[in-house]
Structure 1
Amino acid sequence: MQQLHSPWRHLFPGIQQLNDTGQVWLDSAATAQKPQAMLDALLQYYQQGVANVHRAQHQPGERATLAFEQARQLAAHWLNASNSDCIIFTKGTTEGINLLSHALAGQFNAGDEILLSGYEHHANLLPWQQLAQRQQLQLKILPVDNHGTIEIAYAADYFNSRTRLLAISPLSNVLGQLHYLQPLFAQARAQSIITVVDGAQYAVHRQPDVQQLDCDFFVCSSHKLYGPDGVGLLYAHPKQHALMQPWQWGGEMIEYCTYQSAQARALPLGFEAGTPSIANVIAFAATLEWLLSLDKTAVQAHEQALFMQLQQGLAERNMQIVGQPDTALISFNAPEVHPADLAHLLSEQGIAVRGGQHCAMPLFQQLGLPGAVRVSLALYNDSSDIQAFFQALDKALEILA
């Protein structure tokens, strides 16, 4: 095996701490370790004296508000959004999609259709499922084949005059297969169908460009992007702002209020009720700034080379691959071995992988599988992690045999 070394590994103190205790981190699709740049920004914010944002005239409050809004501008730049007013800070992808399912509820009439892919994470299934149940809508699923793949070229055949919204992920957290959605979104836009992108996995491995994607809404999480927990982004296309109604009320999202009525501010503040996660937003911005400084081509090449080593090693051991992965993660099963047993034995040897159904229970039901073991890669992994994984896998298979 060619020895691939990550030039970014030393920038992650958590990776070093894990290695020092005999742990190998191969569960980045669940959450990623954090670079020093993020840790420094978080500490600096707390050390210099904290304040709330958008509501105080004193110097600490002005400083916090300026940093917070600069973070919004940086997030817009990272997404190639037209302006920072398109960026709403959330707790993460799950909250972002729940926000949309409530904010857009007024755009649906009984009998309208919501279209999802068959491989969606629960976070991009359940909010729409519940909306459909509340408002007598039809939830329709783009079918997947035996590999979990949808045929993007034919997906628009499922559009009809009642289709109101399409919500889909370009990169499944189970299948690891990248889908190029722009042609589908172009057809959706031509038919006035709202498009929502769950970018939780995609944003980690391909820098999103919302203008190129040509989507109406895009959501992602900070913690998978090497940033802090409890923060995410929701991008809303300027032309769709008028469709949205606030889903939470209180605090500085109010433009005008009496005892009997209230009027919300426009985006983005009208959708950020209460005190936001100020420190984490600022630290997330530092993470995005650090990501923007990297050579994206080099990062993708490194991740792809590691992926090929992982794929080859699993094939040599006759593991059953779930789907047709091509990007950064692989879910697999060993013949006649329950994935929970295999994941447990790997964990006992210090290999952090994920076993189960990965918040995609309907997909596993469709594929007829009890679950799978998932190995997910990040820019800080190198060949030593892959070798440690296969040593542990061989030992686990020997025990289970």
Structure 2
Amino acid sequence: MKNVKYGKCVKCGKEYPATPDLTTCECGGILDIVYDYAYIKTQLTKEKLAAREDCSMWRYRELLPIEETTENTPLRVGNSPLYEEPRLASELGVKQLWVKDDGQNPTASLKDRASAMAVAKAREAGAKVIACSSTGNAASSLAGNAAAAGLKTYIFVPSRAPKGKVAQLMTFGATVISVEGSYEDTFELSKAAIEKWGWYNRNAAINPYLSEGKKTVSLEIMEQLNWQVPDYLAISVGDGCTIAGVWKGLKDLYAIGFIDKLPRLISAQAEGCCPLNRAISEKKDWYPMEENTLADSIAVGVPRNADKALMAIRESNGIVVNVSDEEIMAAQKLLGRTCGVFGEPAGVTGTAGVKKLCEQGILGKNDTVVSVVTGNGLKDVANAIKACGEPITIPSDMDRLLKAFADKGITVE
């Protein structure tokens, strides 16, 4: 790869050749992919990018760690809409607000970006089988993207994973192992199985290429904003891979001169499982936490990408905000009511964080904000119904309809 120099450990600084099956450093640290920005500047311009017909995440190939000969993966990943939402901005009290609906990816989550990268690198490595552990979205995204590419998958999920996500896995033909225990238990079993059978490892905190796939969401946001940088970018945070990827993409664009400043990150976690935000707030090292939240996709008590995530928050002079399950469910309804965007609990946690920061006066009338919705609400219908309630159920009778409206205080205009 002419655009990539090497992988570098974020802990000890050791460098490794950027082979397709690159994993962690021998010291246990996560690797960061280091690019040759001088070379990239000779290959990519804003004008060249604007002229491309490819609207998938692969339009940014010069900024991705893939060989020139590597084909695009089959599913269309990326090109999710970025909506400007003036009504929601007014209701919250900020100058401008955009919502990036990444739940419109093929398997309905941002994780498709990482899984498409995993499939591309597995092909480069000549692998036939890919495996991972996941709370749900990484699993379904891997199963779908691998199925489209003709690769076999073994997926390990905690038994609490929502049925909608498990249904996706089974439909995509994955071999699914539901593990009785926490996400940490699930991860450890997947790790042992991958080592035993030599499968290609899609686990995001082990495989450094996956954050490079996730970073395409920030590349896309900046291009959709015509390279005008917002003050803040809010994201839901679990194991830390997504926020690390978002920051990497922003730094890449800054390094090649496509943007002239960097936004501050907003790291939103569920207060029932917030080990990374707690570490920032307490100015201490992170330590494990119970997984006590309905936002299953970010319920990670032992984050595997803590180093990169904490670095991203600190480097961006970011803000951390923890939200309750009730605040998450309120944000789910708010996004639906004002924007027509249906996000799952983990997917709307970033927006819940923005709302809370506005209520606290930390964000205000002069601020511009992008909030990323990382997963679609159809992933977890049960909690959506809990948040919004059941429909009016009556016989086909106008008198009963009038009475039901009166009982609920509904005024028909």
TM-score (norm 1): 0.31
> RCO (CA 8 Å, sep 6+): is it higher in 1 or 2?
1
TM-score (norm 2): 0.30
